Structure 1
Amino acid sequence: MMKAYLVGLHPEVWEIVKNGVKEHKDPSSATLREYCHIHLNAQATSVLLSDLSAEEYNKVIGLEVAKEIWDTLHIAHEGVEKVRQSKIDLLMEKLNQFVIMDGEGTQEMFDRLMAIVGKIRGLGGKEMNDHNVVKIFLETYSPRE
């Protein structure tokens, strides 16, 4: 969602977050384009820092480059590849054990299912396509003997 928000502000804001901005040793000799990049980095930094909790802010305190802030938060939330894959595996196991709860309606069950699927997709899990989601939903909702 943050990517969509940053692109919505201006596509170059996201590019600055994704690719970084060159550090300028002498701001007095910066070109107009370099000033533009400095401004875009400041915008991106402001957006990234604006809604952080105190705990999250402590992870990035002192960082002034949007890419560094983004990378730090990205690793903290998604982790390195092994950690990310472990999180996906845990969520997939949760799906394998997914059952309807007592007194739970169809919509509540679906919402709970989609929350897990959303987390898997957010971590980059490719195996959770719509077909698999429907299959899990139908298997869970079908009457048991």
Structure 2
Amino acid sequence: MKIFVQSIDIDLWYIIFEGPFEANIFDENTHRLRSKTRFELNAQDKVNLSLNAKAINILYNALDADEISKVKGCKSAKEIWDKLKEIHEGSEDIREQKKSLFVAKYESFKMEPHENIDKIYCRFNDMVKDLEGLGKEYSLGEKNRKF
């Protein structure tokens, strides 16, 4: 998904990953931030708001009906992304548990009797990619020695 969104527009990925642009202004009467009215928006505000809408549209088009129902109440692309991430990857505690499990698998990795070099390489590569997805990376030298 990341590469797909970046290929359309890198700023869309920043909106999804880092958070939405919010066109707010300090209200002198209430002493609080409030959303700008459409008449208060400048050209850059409009561009940024449009990017968030495009990012939401891309995410919605990539999801099936069940997934859309899970993120329906989200107001920004960042909120949708974070919700999907939690649904599919779990909370931080769950990700840490998964990482520990995969590290243990990595440490005990061995060639199975029925495997050829292609199969063991694919299995090893999948395991390393799973670890990288959870934030655990090994240097090329470490991976080479382990393999």
What TM-score comes out, normalization by structure 1 length?
Answer: 0.78
**Bigger helix share:** 1
Whether 1:49 and 2:48 are equivalent positions in the alignment is: no
Aligned partner of 2:90 in structure 1 is: 79
Query: Any unmatched runs of 5+ in structure 2?
Result: 24-34
1:71-129 deviation line (CA, Å, top 9, x unaligned): 11222333343222211111111223323233321011101111010010011113x22
Whether 1:115 and 2:126 are equivalent positions in the alignment is: yes
Distance in 1, matches of 2:72 and 2:38, equals 23
Query: Any unmatched runs of 5+ in structure 1?
Result: 138-145
Residue type at the aligned position of 2:43: L
Please state how far the C-alpha of 1:25 moved relative to its aligned partner.
5.2
Aligned partner of 1:15 in structure 2 is: 14
RMSD: 2.1
Regions of 4+ moved over 4 Å: none
Question: Mean alpha-carbon deviation: is it higher for 9-18 or for 65-74?
Answer: 9-18
Whether 1:134 and 2:144 are equivalent positions in the alignment is: yes
Distance in 1, matches of 2:51 and 2:66, equals 25
**Bigger strand share:** 2
1:16-72 deviation line (CA, Å, top 9, x unaligned): 221212154533442222221121111111222222244433321232310101111
Q: 1:98 to 1:72 in 2, by over 3 A?
A: same
Aligned length: 135
What TM-score comes out, normalization by structure 2 length?
Answer: 0.77
- C-alpha contact (below 8 Å) 1:21/1:65 kept by paired residues: no
Percent of pairs with identical residues: 29
SS in 2 for 1:27: coil
